[in-house]
Structure 1
């Protein structure tokens, strides 16, 4: 019995030892293989870093407002006798648009004019009697006062009569009629809108940090989400206070709209142009790797007959479409990786693959994130243009 137990223990020890030796041998062989293995170079696309001309600006969201636009309202109540316009008619200043029944006012005007004639006759008679020595000066003064009172009554009735005829206060485009012939209307009823579409205002807001960059007369450009509408304008007003709730400043600009492509209330993208900056370093946004440790870019360096990459941590600035400004970390003349970074590590070997070409840098609005993201309505921007010439 004891002999069998000993044999079993010996066999078990041999089996365990064999397993341990096999695992150790396998790990050693794997380590030896990996130590002698040289990974192939990673194919990447690269781009040379060059300084560009950067046109800063301020991007914002705006609303179109007509330079002259009103709701046309009824001045005096009554029955609508005539509606002399249709939707989208172009009207001129003084053109009659609406006629309210004025028979009562015309009758009152006739009575007031008749009363004025009587008082004028009595005034002349009083003056004649006074000249003959029969009348008194007091009677003349009373007659003249009655004449003035009758004239005032006539003017009052004429005003009421004029209120029954509604005309256009300025040239523009009239909107949809809101009343019909035969309808009884009350004072204050809006019967249409009138908009002057030749000249438009654009109202927008910018963060308070950008107040110093704004001034009257500065050029702006606006665009819409439909019909590829674009127009130029100038800042005409800056609100002299900051909204304490949003920390935004209200700005108004005038935009020419002679082609009629802009309408009041329309959503607009506004860009305020700022002076150009020379020698700004920009890279494609695909070249930037963001992680918990910061933003970095792989810079291609020569190593013997091949190439390797060095991971450089950078400080980023403003954005311009697919370009982004690099404030620190790389310099002009560096060759950076623009794609293929997902398989790279620091000091990895690379090979340049020119079969995939990224679009070159183009002039486009560049945005600097606003200091207060909570506003969500405006941000500072810039433009990346072609690389600056060496002489510049």
Structure 2
């Protein structure tokens, strides 16, 4: 038991904090500890967890991407327009189109980082603004409400009537989230490529010497996040039953805070799917509890900012560790490597 705790310290601490917070909120508000609220938390958290497991892969590989939420917004728009062109389509065509567009947007980030050796956070800040600017320019901020019937029809996996006559429901996004989570876990823990991503994020130079294809690692990591962003975008459209251009704007910081809270190391080489999911749930429970207690939503933003600040401060990786291979080389003294230095 001691060995299990030591090897999963972050996850165990998160579980303890979630239990403690849930007990506190159960006494603080009578609406928190209900089946309906628990199911609502799962339904609301599903999209963020899909985002999070995709971002986890990028963080493990030593990069940072903050453009994925805006990319998901683009996926929503283009997918709905494409479905309209083909007469409505269905779930299969919807998933294929959304996944394809999401992967393409992720690969654009990987190309910029690999080809031009731009630090990943700088590259994705740029694409974040480019993606959002293009989206708002071409859509003029107009929302889409005329979605295919199959996309707006609620798919209830499990439901139960409550004492007050309301219904507690588990909907399709939760099932999709479980599949994405399981797929990511299998990918990073049970495949050679997944182990290479950990090695690459932990020691890029050593990974190169062992023959790991650096470019492939970058494209795989950002492509996987693009895939998850595409799926999450489709699920968001299904859940909201509309496509709003800026609905996901700002979601990237909440997800980043949750993933680093779950134990993913800024600088790469560390992170688990379980910790990632627990991090998202803790952030969601915090937001839900504050809302039920009538606390200003700005307090939640302060908490998210504090989480990111603490994670960066306590990270064992130097800021310079965000740059090697995912951008220009930075030497031990924090200065750019000499142009003649071997890469």
| TM-score, with length taken from structure 2 | 0.20
Name the larger-Rg structure.
1
Higher RCO (CA < 8 A, seq sep 6+): 2
